[in-house]
Amino acid sequence: MNFLITGGTGFIGAALANTLVAQGHHVRVIDDLSAGGERNVLDPRVSFTRGDVRDIPKLWSLLDGTDCVFHLAARVSVPESVLYPVEYNAVNVGGTVSLMAAVRDAGVKRVVLTSSGAAYGDQPRQPVAEDTTLQPQTPYAVSKLASEQYVLAIGALWKIETVILRVFNAYGPGQPLPPSHAPVVPRYLKQVIGGGSLVVFGGGQQTRDFVYIDDVVRALGAAAQKPGLNRVVVNIGSGAETSINHLIDVIEQVVGREAHRIQRAAESGGVSRLVADVHRARELLGFTPQLALREGLRQMVMKDSRFSLQPA
């Protein structure tokens, strides 16, 4: 098949692109590299174009002959979105609308949008199923919900097949470690290996659903290639609820070192609980998570040189 991946040098996008070309597909990527991604993370067989996903004429040329688009281009930091809501709306929502307009013009058959479990917000009942009433609590989460609605609406109007995957806390080798607002898994892993301190907000009892990157990529591939999918929303997670404190416990076990924890119980750690109901993913995509947290963390240490264990 012929695929276009927006945001294709990002953590999930690059892993997806490299997997698809290894399977024999033709893959094009567009990315503006604004998030610090690099072209060299891609397999040489991937066709890379530097550009903004809001550039509709550029999208027209890339969409020619495309069977399916994976839309991953977005700004993705929850804390950053609180500071810069205008930018998050412009890139995440504006980029989605521009892409869907270009897809309509080019006659592409299917779009797979990578949304986020953050759209659920705080929910009294866990795990959260796809028909749960959404309560987004940050500009990032709102931008993802708005993107979902644009994809579904424009898809219905122009008979474009649309699949939305709400991905929970993806982690794995190659995950970015920016100086600020770094994701929790690589940040904690790096700190424990390096002997640094971990700041634990909210008492560490808040829970999340950590899903390994290879599982996410398998789900994305299925969403693009399974026949008969249209106007569906599917959770992609591990289905396992893990507290932040337990995440640190497992990191300690994997690397064989004790973490120095600094508790900031008075400061919020975000929503109190969040774990995915993955029954629909199993039914529609044949998706079953393969890697539990301990093995996923072990794979990160083995495959990512940034987490190489040094003598204690």
Active centre residues (catalytic): 140
- What is the C-alpha to C-alpha distance for residues 112 and 3, in angstroms, rounded to an integer? 11
**Cis-peptide, bond into residue 127, ω within 30° of zero:** yes
DSSP string, 32-95: --TTS--GGGS-TTSEEEE--TT-HHHHHHHHTT-SEEEE--S---HHHHHH-HHHHIIIIIHH
Spacing of C-alpha 38 from chain mean position: 18
Q: Which among 126, 104, 128, 125 is positioned nearest to 116, based on CA atoms?
A: 128
Beta bridge pairs of residue 48: 29
Q: In angstroms, what CA-CA distances link 48 with 28, 76, 134, 140, 242?
A: 6, 21, 35, 27, 37
Residues 6+ apart with CB under 8 A from 141: 78, 116, 118, 119, 121
Beta bridge pairs of residue 146: none
